[in-house]
Amino acid sequence: MDQFTLNLIFIGLSFAVYIGIAIWARAGSTAEFYAANRGVSPVMNGMATAADWMSAASFISMAGLIAFTGYDNSTYLMGWTGGYVLLALLLAPYLRKFGKFTVPEFIGDRFYSKTARIIGVICLLIISITYVIGQMTGVGVTFSRYLEVSNSTGLWIGAAMVFMYSVLGGMKGITYTQVAQYVVLIIAYTIPAIFIALQLTGHVLPQTGLFGTLNEGGGKFLATLDQVVVDLGFKTYTGHHKSTLDMVLFTLALMIGTAGLPHVIIRFFTVPKVSDARKSAGWALVFIALLYTVAPAVGSMSRFNLTSTMWPGAETGDTYSQPAVTLDSIENDDDKQWMRNWQVTGLLNWEDKNGDGLIQYYNDAVTEGPSAEMAAEQGLQGNELTTVNNDIMVLANPEIANLPGWVIAIVAAGGLAAALSTAAGLLLAISGAVSHDLIKGAINPGISEKGELMAARISMAASILVATILGLNPPGFAAQTVALAFGLAASSIFPVLMMGIFSKRINKEGAIAGMLAGILSTLLYIFTYKGWFFISGTNMLEDVAANWVFGISPASFGVIGALINFIVAYVVSNATEEPPVEVVELVESIRVPRGSGGAVAH
């Protein structure tokens, strides 16, 4: 059976399961659409949260970023897992006790202001739309390769699939679909990793294979990888090269951004009891760890396999002992079929610049060392592997390693499960904000439950359309785009939730001023140094690290935005009237344990 047919079978079967679950779990009320009628067990919710969390950024892009940067990008792993500790300890149980459906609803009630609620909606929309663009990017990458269609066509197919099960099932359908998607994505991530770890190091566990010895050549895997990349003119793989300040801030931005992401927070509204919210966060960490402990091995081994393809001698640590890959072998050899497959997508490309029939891969910016000497000897005119998109590394890894076709098909299904599960959660957060907070909360408070449910489904459909259009021209790789969303969540939602729960003195004026100051300062910094403009559709400016303020990258600025939010809210609150007595009592009812039910609604 050919690979395309296998891909269709595995992807088609997984899609059939998702649609079947959505039909079975069709939401018939707003309680089911927004919070699955608060009937999801902690284990199931933990698994669904893990699927909601392990997006295209985690499944597809994170290992690709680790593959090409190494140790410095371990910040993604530390920040994204650390955020769940904050959620479990500081936010999840208190927000569940409050007993509402959405994050803006908590903000509006706690700060006794429709204006605060609407600003919460605006912040949520900015965060979620930025985040969902990263998921749609991953959907396009996966579809374009495995269904052999263009990236844009893949995006529209993915959008249609999300529409089918999220609009139909709401949170109830999405929850049980995400449980199925978690099973698919964790199998799809670990099986190829086990195969490749055995192939390279003889270890069954990828986590231990990372520190093992190569089967061929006998050298330590990471030491050999370090030697190879340095020979090719790149920085050491296991070394620390980025600004330590920026790494710390970026990790913190991911942590508090995680704790402030609306689509993650609303998952804790679905459990029966307050205690279950904390248990859900614990189970989510367990399920996430199953993938995140494998990711460094996947990234490292995919980089090693790519380099070995271009320079076969790299397998033994002797990079230039064998000729680079030839144009003839790319065009005719079965083991180079993966290069032809990915070239069609435009995410991998090469050019024989000096006409010698070889494709040399090296860092042509380096003027000293083995790679520079090799380039001078062979009369090279620059790196000839001209395009390697980070987002292809996890998806291409099984093909590079010549694994069986069914393994490649599983990876295709897993990549789509990861992207679609998170996209559905984000779209539900957007839908709830529009229908429950804007339409019912501000525009038409008297709307019937049936009308609100219809508004929720229409707003979700509109959100899918907007996300798909914006996903056609994302501002970076999937994980990079998602990192921007974390900074926005860190600077806007996280501080106002923390102050709303743990401070009785912060009032509506402080909350409004803080949210605006936090998100506007972060947006300004991102647009100044990221240079992504929706209207132009092009990257007008590049990231220029030399111009960053104190070396702080746009993705790390969320921590600074959060500090601005806290400071502005505190100053403004102390310069204005104290909150009403009933609001102070509401804060007490959220914070003081009174059984396992919801807080007293005011």
- What tokens does 125 get? 């929309």
Annotated domain spans of the chain: 3-297+401-490, 302-399
Residues in contact with 346: Cβ distance below 8 Å, sequence separation at least 6, in sequence order? 151, 387
Mean pLDDT of 529-538: 48
Query: What SS3 class is residue 539?
Result: strand
Quick one: pLDDT at residue 238? 93
Q: pLDDT tens across 128-185, in order?
A: 887 887 777 777 777 777 777 777 888 888 888 878 777 777 788 888 888 998 999 9
* Torsion angle defined by CA atoms of residues 247, 281, 40 and 103, in that order, rounded to the nearest 10 degrees: -60
pLDDT surpassing 70 at residue 532: no
- What tokens does 320 get? 């230039």
Helix (H) or strand (E) holding 388: strand 387-388
pLDDT surpassing 90 at residue 190: yes
Q: What does the DSSP assignment read for 329-377? A: HHHH-GGGHHHHHHHHHTSEE---TTSSSEE--S-TT--SSHHHHHHHH
Helix (H) or strand (E) holding 326: strand 325-326
Q: pLDDT tens across 391-423, in order?
A: 788 888 888 888 898 998 998 888 888 877 888
Q: At what angle do helices 168-201 and 274-292 cross, to 10 degrees?
A: 30
- Dist CA 203 CA 194 (whole Å): 8
Query: What SS3 class is residue 553?
Result: coil
Quick one: pLDDT at residue 476? 53
Ramachandran class of 544: left when φ > 0, alpha when ψ lies in -120 to 50, beta otherwise: beta
Q: Amino acid identity of 233?
A: G
CA angle 199, 287, 485 (to 5 degrees): 100
Quick one: pLDDT at residue 543? 43
pLDDT more than 70, % of the chain: 94
Query: Would you report the helix, strand and coil content of the chain in percent, each value rounded to 5?
Result: 75, 0, 25
Query: What pTM was estimated for this model as a whole?
Result: 0.81
Query: Per CATH, which fold does 3-297+401-490 belong to?
Result: Sodium/glucose cotransporter (1.20.1730)
Quick one: pLDDT at residue 475? 57
- Dist CA 572 CA 561 (whole Å): 16
- Dist CA 397 CA 327 (whole Å): 21
For residues 300 and 222, is the Cβ–Cβ distance under 8 A?
yes
Q: pLDDT tens across 421-479, in order?
A: 888 888 888 888 888 898 988 888 889 988 988 888 888 888 888 888 877 776 554 55
Q: pLDDT tens across 66-100, in order?
A: 998 898 888 888 888 888 888 888 888 898 888 87
Q: Amino acid identity of 291?
A: L
Mean pLDDT of 107-114: 94
Quick one: pLDDT at residue 502? 93
Ramachandran class of 184: left when φ > 0, alpha when ψ lies in -120 to 50, beta otherwise: alpha
Q: pLDDT tens across 235-292, in order?
A: 999 998 888 888 889 899 889 998 998 888 888 888 898 889 889 989 999 999 999 9
Q: What is the mean pLDDT of the chain?
A: 85
Instruction: Give the number of other CB atoms < 10 A from CB of residue 411.
Output: 29
Classify residue 512 by burial, with Cβ atoms within 10 Å: 0-12, 13-18, 19+: buried
Radius of gyration of the chain (CA): 25
Q: pLDDT tens across 353-373, in order?
A: 988 899 989 998 888 888 888
